[in-house]
Amino acid sequence: MVIEYAEALTVTPATVDDDLRARVGATFTKRQTVELTQLIAWENARARFNRGFDIQSDGYSGS
């Protein structure tokens, strides 16, 4: 569900439907949901920034 939520927040425009929002809200506290959403948004912003400057992976993960 967290991956589904992250994917929904990452597409343009973001597409978090009521069902997904309800499942996230039923699984996490409001504070946890805010933290999760902030972390997803931060990683998304960082990835888009890197694409703007053609910054590539250092290959640490091997994938």
Residue 63 has pLDDT above 70, yes or no: no
Distance, in Å, from the CA atom of 11 to the CA atom of 60, rounded to the nearest integer, reads: 26
Domain-embedded: residue 26: yes
How do residues 5-55 score in pLDDT, each as one tens digit?
999 999 989 999 999 999 999 999 999 999 999 999 999 999 888 888 988
Residue 6: predicted pLDDT? 97
- 41: helix, coil or strand? helix
Domain-embedded: residue 60: no
Residue-range definition of the domain harbouring residue 21: 2-52
Number of domains comprising the chain: 1
pTM for the predicted model, two decimal places: 0.79
Domain-embedded: residue 58: no
Residue 60: predicted pLDDT? 78
Phi-psi region of 10 (alpha: psi -120 to 50; beta: other; left: phi over 0): alpha
Distance, in Å, from the CA atom of 5 to the CA atom of 19, rounded to the nearest integer, reads: 11
